Amino acid sequence: MADIISFFEQVNRNFDKAAALTSHHPDLLTLIKNCNSVYHFTFPLLRADGSIEVIHAWRAEHSHHKLPTKGGIRYSLSVNEDEVVALAALMTYKCAVVDVPFGGAKGGIAIDSKKYTPQELERITRRYTFELVKKNFIGPGTDVPAPDFGTGPREMAWIVDTYVALSADKLEGTACVTGKPLAQGGIRGRSEATGRGVAIATREAVEVEEDMKPLGLSRGLAGKRVVVQGLGNVGYHAARFLEQAGAVLVGFVEYEGAIHNPKGLELATVWAHRQETGSMLGVAGATTLPSREAGLELDCDILVPAALENQITGENADRIKAKIVVEAANGPITSEASERLGERGVLVLPDHFVNAGGVLVSYFEWLKNLSHVRFGRLEKRFEEGAFRRILGAIEGATDKRFGAAEVAAITHGADEADLVNSGLEDTFVTAYARLREIRNRHRDKADLRTAAFIDAIDKIALCYGDLGIFP
Over residues 177-225, the pLDDT tens digits come to 999 999 999 999 998 999 999 999 999 999 999 999 999 999 999 999 9
Query: How many other C-beta atoms can be found within 10 angstroms of the C-beta atom of residue 13?
Result: 15
CA-to-CA dists, residue 444 to 104, 438, 451, angstroms: 30, 12, 12
User: What is the chain's mean pLDDT, rounded?
Assistant: 94
Assigned domain for 471 exists: no
C-alpha span between 129 and 30 (Å, rounded): 31
Q: For residue 1, is pLDDT > 60?
A: no
C-alpha span between 209 and 436 (Å, rounded): 13
CATH number for the domain spanning 126: value is 3.40.50.10860
Q: What integer pLDDT is reported at residue 443 of this predicted model?
A: 82
Query: How many other C-beta atoms can be found within 10 angstroms of the C-beta atom of residue 313?
Result: 17
Q: What integer pLDDT is reported at residue 151 of this predicted model?
A: 95
Assigned domain for 272 exists: no
Q: For residue 2, is pLDDT > 60?
A: no
Domain boundary among 134, 159, 184: 184
Assigned domain for 143 exists: yes
Mean pLDDT of 33-41: 96
Mean pLDDT of 451-463: 95
Q: What integer pLDDT is reported at residue 227 of this predicted model?
A: 96
Number of domains within the chain? 2
Q: Is 323 labeled as catalytic in the residue annotation?
A: no
pLDDT tens track for 272-293: 999 999 999 989 989 999 999 9
Residue of 311 and 59 predicted with greater confidence? 59
Q: What integer pLDDT is reported at residue 408 of this predicted model?
A: 92
Residue tagged active-site, from 17, 70, 106, 323: 106
- Strand, coil or helix: what is 303? strand
Domain boundary among 150, 169, 184: 184
- Residue 366's closest CA among 58, 69, 84? 69
The string of DSSP letters for 329-388 reads SSS-B-HHHHHHHHHTT-EEE-HHHHTTHHHHHHHHHHHHHHHTS-TTTTTHHHHHHHHH
pLDDT tens track for 89-140: 999 999 999 999 999 999 999 999 999 999 999 999 999 999 999 999 999 9
Mean pLDDT of 396-401: 92
Mean pLDDT of 352-363: 95
CB 197 within 8 A of CB 357: yes
Assigned domain for 59 exists: yes
C-alpha span between 252 and 261 (Å, rounded): 9
Query: How many other C-beta atoms can be found within 10 angstroms of the C-beta atom of residue 349?
Result: 25
Q: What integer pLDDT is reported at residue 464 of this predicted model?
A: 83
C-alpha span between 230 and 295 (Å, rounded): 11
Domain boundary among 156, 184, 212: 184
C-alpha span between 190 and 357 (Å, rounded): 9
Assigned domain for 165 exists: yes
Q: What integer pLDDT is reported at residue 465 of this predicted model?
A: 75
Mean pLDDT of 247-259: 94
Range of the domain at 103: 35-184
Assigned domain for 363 exists: no
Name 227's bridge partners. Answer: 251, 303
Q: What integer pLDDT is reported at residue 3 of this predicted model?
A: 58
Assigned domain for 219 exists: no
Mean pLDDT of 166-173: 89
Mean pLDDT of 4-32: 93
pLDDT tens track for 306-345: 988 889 998 999 999 999 999 999 889 998 899 999 999 9
CB 237 within 8 A of CB 194: yes
Q: What integer pLDDT is reported at residue 470 of this predicted model?
A: 63
Q: What integer pLDDT is reported at residue 467 of this predicted model?
A: 63
C-alpha span between 172 and 61 (Å, rounded): 21
